[in-house]
Amino acid sequence: MRITYSIGLFLIVVTLAIFWQIRNHEFVWNDRNAIVENLSPNRRAPSNGDDSRQGSGLQLSNPLTHAVWATVAGLSENPTADPSRKPDPRPFHIANLIVHILSVLVVFAILRLLIHDDWAAGSGALLFALHPLQVEPVAWATGMRELLCGFLSLISLWQYVKYALPVTVSAPADRAGGTASQKRLIHKRRFSGALAIFAFALAVLANPAAVALPVVAFVIDYVLFKRSLRHNALSLGACVTLAVVVIGVTQWARLQNLGGISPIWQRPLIAADALTFYLYKLFVPFQLSVDYGRSPVVVAQQGWIYLTWLVPVALGLLLWLSRRRAPYFVCAASIFAASLLPFLGLFPFRFQTISTVADRYLYLAMLGPAFALAWVVSRWQTKPVLMACGILLAALGLKSAFQARLWRNNVILFSHALELNSNSWISHYNIGVDLARKGAFEDAAQHYRAALKIKPDYVSAHFRFGNILAVQGNLDEAIRQYDAILKTGPVSAAVHYNLGNAFAVLNRLTEAVEQYEKSLQLDPASAAAHGGLGHVLFKQNKLEDALEHYRKAIEIDPEAADVHYSMATILGSRGEIEPAMDHYRVALRLNPTYSGAYYNVGILLARRGRLDEAIGYFRQALAIRPDFVEAHESLGRALVLQGNREEGLKHIEQALQILKIGHGAETAR
């Protein structure tokens, strides 16, 4: 038992040594959308309409994963609570690493049950822990979906093996007719069976891809334990039923948005091509990328699918012929293939438009190679074999450490992807997102243009590129980018919202109103869209309608400073002084640099004869904006009325001087 614990501790230490670096990595790819935005309690603007997000609909398809992220955020400082604050990715990366380590220990437990050799099981678990194909789900925060699903699937499989594993027990007879040991064994096996079903249900809630687990359990049951099909049906009936229901629901949901990615007749060929690709990367784990660009369209155009199917078919025939001599290899290969069934392209999935294959899809499947290595070590415990195994695992660990470094940030990760696949439009896009977030708008625009050159109908690139153009003041071109989305679809509330903003700045108010209203039809809970529509209606002097939308905006987001300011302006113009001042004070609390709010509060106080307070507000407005003409003039008049004629006249003269300078500059132009 001491050896078992020592090996377990060794597995933890080595896994930490390789992956501990990821704790300092940034959010990459769609982490901010999948995690941060899904956890954000308030949406101040419509969602960004990013069609590349893997996290869309996360609460529906991966509710348990979402719950784990919410828990991680709650246990940390919850960086999503304040949208203005930079989110901290560290807790999410550490959570990924913890789940991976737990999975490694469960793999060790499964292999001990199947191989009956601690050192061999430890070797297999180490392969599972360190293979470079495991880097993507561990180093990518959003990879928690695959990690959590894999961990719970392994728990389920572990308990199922304990339930189904043939055991011989001999013990003194019990008066009730059985033996005490047999009764305890029956209770333990029933408990393990129930726990297996429960863990499987949780795995499905973490990621519907867990539906492949009953097939994996069947392989172990049938190939290793030699149990009949009838026994398998009885043992796995509940899991198979749940799997069928999940497959039906998820495929229905996917087809509502996807349509057919490839013809049905072509899908077995695509699946065989994907399996060949995975086998190659398993044995030659080099040039790993987040985007292999191996989509069904590309594979069909290149003609690969008419050749690559030969590899898995030939290997399958070889394994079938050797099933009696090498059942362990047959079992390992079957586990590998069965775990990949949801990801081979037999059923369409969203990421398949980018690539059918991805490293993260292999997470649970790596149990097969781990089992194969464990069996080899247990069968041939010779010095050359053990040395070769040690060298192999050390090399894989070093490669994983290097591979994990590529996940530090978007620019490093996707620049590497472009080196391997120059047509990776998703890489150009993500580099653009990162550069734009850092304020390098020109460089970001170049990458958005490159992405659109490769994929002209890429909605997200049009959207982000339009945002940059709007920030740079090139509103006409920004509108053209948004219009391109309207022509290709699908259209999000954010597209209409941004179009409304552009039209509002260009003073095309009727068009702005139309776009804001369309945005609100798609997303009625958008405080930003209500506020934007209110601002345009204010400009059109439709004050009652503007107030209605301002009230809705504040109800959704009480901390929208600009809405409080505009609402206070309308209320003040109608003589509702106290409500107006309340809203101005909220605006100033939220944005203390609001010079206009200080000035307007001063005006309202002056009208009520509270000159001392008014003068204080005028001075604060000028402290923020020294060239504020109206504030100088109003402060001067208030000081004169208060009896401080000399200082008052100085401020009035300063207002005239600013106006004179401004007029002179305008004349010169």
pLDDT tens per residue, range 40-81: 544 445 555 454 443 333 444 788 999 999 899 888 765 444
Among candidate residues 447, 451, 401, the one with its CA nearest the CA of residue 424: 451
Q: Are the C-beta atoms of residues 608 and 577 closer than 8 Å to each other?
A: yes
| pLDDT mean over 235-247 | 61
**Is pLDDT of 260 > 70?**
no
Positive/negative CA dihedral, 257, 42, 571, 611: negative
In whole angstroms, what is the distance from residue 562 CA to residue 532 CA?
Answer: 10
* C-beta pairs of 595-601 under 8 Å, 24+ apart in sequence: 595/621, 595/622, 595/624, 595/625, 595/628, 595/631, 596/565, 596/621, 597/565, 597/568, 598/624, 598/631, 599/628, 599/630, 599/631, 599/634, 600/568, 600/569, 600/572
Q: How far apart are CA 29 and CA 416, in angstroms?
A: 13
Confidence at residue 74, expressed as pLDDT on a 0 to 100 scale: 82
Average pLDDT of span 115-142: 96
Q: 39 pLDDT exceeds 70?
A: no
* SS3 annotation, 54-120: CCCCHHHHCHHHHHHHHHHHHHCCCCCCCCCCCCCCHHHHHHHHHHHHHHHHHHHHHHHHHHCCHHH
Displacement of CA 268 from its chain's centroid (Å):
30
Distance CA 271, CA 262 (A): 11
What are 482-494's pLDDT values in tens digits?
A: 999 998 766 789 9
Note the pLDDT of residue 246. 57
Alpha helices, H only, 172-211: 180-206
C-alpha distances out from residue 503 to 45, 198, 309, 507, 544, Å: 17, 54, 54, 6, 22
Closest listed residue to residue 201, CA positions, set 161, 156, 252, 138: 156
Element (H, E) at 142: none
Residue 367: burial class (beta carbons within 10 Å; 0-12, 13-18, 19+): buried
For residue 137, cis peptide bond before it (omega within 30 degrees of 0): no
Residue of 11 and 194 predicted with greater confidence: 11
In the structure, what pLDDT confidence band is assigned to residue 503 with cuts at 50, 70 and 90?
very high
Lowest mean pLDDT among 67-81, 167-181, 289-303, 448-462: 167-181
pLDDT given at position 24? 94
Tokens 């913890």, residue located: 98
What SS3 class is residue 492? coil
Lowest mean pLDDT among 164-178, 409-423, 642-656: 164-178
Average pLDDT over residues 79-101: 79
Q: Would you give the distance in Å from CA 403 to the centre of its chain?
A: 20
Cβ(398)–Cβ(362) below 8 Å: no
Predicted pLDDT of residue 175? 45
> What's the Rg (C-alpha) of the chain?
32
pLDDT of res. 362: 97
Residue labelled with tokens 């390992």? 332
What pTM value is reported for the model? Answer: 0.83
Does residue 488 or residue 373 have the better pLDDT?
373
The tokens of 522 are what?
Answer: 């798609």
Strand partners, 173: 179
Distance CA 602, CA 596 (A): 10
Q: For residue 617, what are the contacts with CB-CB under 8 A and spacing of at least 6? A: 598, 599, 601, 602, 605
**What 3-state DSSP class applies to 179?**
strand
The rounded distance, in Å, linking the Cα atoms of 259 and 266 is 15
Q: Is residue 335 scored above 90 in pLDDT?
A: yes
Element (H, E) at 422: none
Residue 55: per-residue pLDDT: 36
Q: Are 603 and 634 in contact (CB under 8 A)?
A: yes
Q: Choose the weakest-confidence range: 273-287, 304-318, 450-464, 529-543.
A: 304-318
- Give the dihedral sign, CA 352/353/359/360: negative
Mean pLDDT for the stretch of residues 362-369? 97
First to last CA, the chain: 88
Compute, in degrees rounded to 10, the torsion defined by CA atoms 119, 122, 124, 127. Answer: -130
Q: How confident is the model at residue 173 (pLDDT cuts 50, 70, 90)?
A: very low
Alpha helices in 523-644 (DSSP H): 527-539, 543-556, 561-573, 577-590, 595-607, 611-624, 629-642
Cα–Cα distance measured from residue 358 to residue 362, given in angstroms and rounded to the nearest whole number: 8
Specify the 3-state DSSP secondary structure of 173. Answer: strand
The CA-based angle 9-12-18, given to 5 degrees, is 140
Mean pLDDT confidence for 28-51: 66
User: Cβ–Cβ contacts within 10 Å for residue 523, how many?
Assistant: 19
Residue 244 reports pLDDT greater than 80: no
**Mean pLDDT of the region 386-406:** 95
The mean pLDDT of the chain is 86
Question: What is the token pair recorded at 169?
Answer: 């027990």
Per-residue pLDDT averaged across 95-115, rounded? 97
Q: Are 445 and 429 in contact (CB under 8 A)?
A: no
Q: Give the angle 390-393-398 at the CA atoms, nearest 5°.
A: 125
Report which DSSP code applies to 324: T
Q: In whole angstroms, what is the distance from residue 342 CA to residue 335 CA?
A: 13
How many C-beta neighbours within 10 Å does residue 404 have? 21
In this predicted structure, what is the pLDDT of residue 73?
85
What 8-state DSSP symbol labels residue 341? G
